[in-house]
Amino acid sequence: MAIIRAVLFDMDGVICDTERDGHRVSFNMTFKEFGFQDEWSVEQYHELLQVGGGKERMKHYWETHGFSKQIPAGQIDQLIKEMHKRKTALYVDLLKAGRLPLRPGVHRFLQEAGEIGLRRAICTTSNELAAVAVMERLLGDIVFDLVLAGDVVSKKKPDPEIYNLAIERLNLKPEEAFAVEDSRNGVLAAKNAGLQVLVTTNEYTEQEDVSAGDIIVTCLGDSPADACQLRKGKVPFDGVLHVKDVLEAFSH
């Protein structure tokens, strides 16, 4: 078994619960500003999350439901591009206002990874500006060796392209890194890239089939008071998952 040298973090739903109270809210604010009556509910947005990428999500919604105003096919791509740019700005405002805190254990886990000597990377289909805002606002003292975000790849998760690119950029073999994901699409992307996967589920993804993950927890945890649960994997766990224990489990 190769020595693990890097941890590759997804962002949305892993680092903070951005989807329900961040991205969804920002999309709805954008629809209103652009004169649409469309509003994505919590349940509907969960369904839309099965489509990777914000612009792709809006395009899928237009194709399957249509917007509340008629949009000619020749204009939809440019409109979505403009709407997504505004949506990102609104999302960054929410972050700066402190509306989206880190999930339990994320900062501690990333800090432990650095202390052990692991290289740290972000692999997200979230817009690059949004990713930078999360890192600067919530993880300002963490130094990442690589950040891949937005349209840096042509195919979004569950395609493994973003993880394949990360492995290439870090000059590693797949067995020398592991991914931290929260969703079925993310787990499939990481697995198809040959990575072992630590899954930390959230309110949106706890009912998804993430069984392909190697270790599954409900959160990484800072203390037993966070009430995190171990769903899969043979690791020491008292409500807090430590990097050294993940490495030990992934080395067998």
Residues 188 and 140 in one domain: yes
Q: Which residue, of 54, 73, 96, is where some domain finishes? A: 96
Return the H-helix or E-strand segment holding 194: none
Report the alpha-carbon distance of residue 152 to residue 161 in Å, rounded.
10
Active site residue 12: yes
User: Can you give the CATH number for the domain in which 29 is found?
Assistant: 1.10.150.240
Residues 11 and 130 in one domain: yes
- The number of distinct structural domains making up the chain is 2
Residues 108 and 219 in one domain: yes
Residues 144 and 160 in one domain: yes
Among candidates 205, 169, 165, 202, which has minimal Cα distance to 185? 205
Q: What predicted TM-score, i.e. pTM, was given to this entire model?
A: 0.86
Of the chain, the end-to-end C-alpha distance in Å amounts to 7
Instruction: Place 1 in a pLDDT band, splitting at 50, 70 and 90.
Output: low
* Domain-embedded: residue 1: no
User: Can you give the CATH number for the domain in which 135 is found?
Assistant: 3.40.50.1000
Which residue in this structure is represented by tokens 């329900």?
20
Q: What pLDDT digit, counting tens, does each position of 21-31 carry? A: 899 999 999 99
Report how far Cα 113 is from the mean position of its chain's Cα atoms: 18
Q: What is the mean pLDDT of residues 191-206?
A: 95
The single residue of 12, 38, 159, 182 carrying the catalytic annotation is 12
Inter-CA distances, 118 with 17, 134, 138, 145, 197, Å: 25, 21, 20, 10, 15
- Residue 15 is predicted with a pLDDT of 95
Q: What is the mean pLDDT of residues 170-197?
A: 97
Residues 38 and 10 in one domain: no
* For the ranges 36-40, 129-133, 224-228, the one whose mean pLDDT is highest: 36-40
> Between 1 and 135, whose confidence is greater?
135
- Find the domain containing 209 and state its range: 6-17+102-250
Residues 148 and 45 in one domain: no
Residues 57 and 177 in one domain: no
The single residue of 10, 17, 182, 222 carrying the catalytic annotation is 10
Q: What pLDDT digit, counting tens, does each position of 55-78 carry? A: 999 999 999 999 999 999 999 999
Active site residue 209: no
Residues 107 and 168 in one domain: yes
Whether the predicted pLDDT of 221 surpasses 90: yes
Inter-CA distances, 225 with 78, 209, 229, Å: 47, 27, 11
- Residue 48 is predicted with a pLDDT of 94
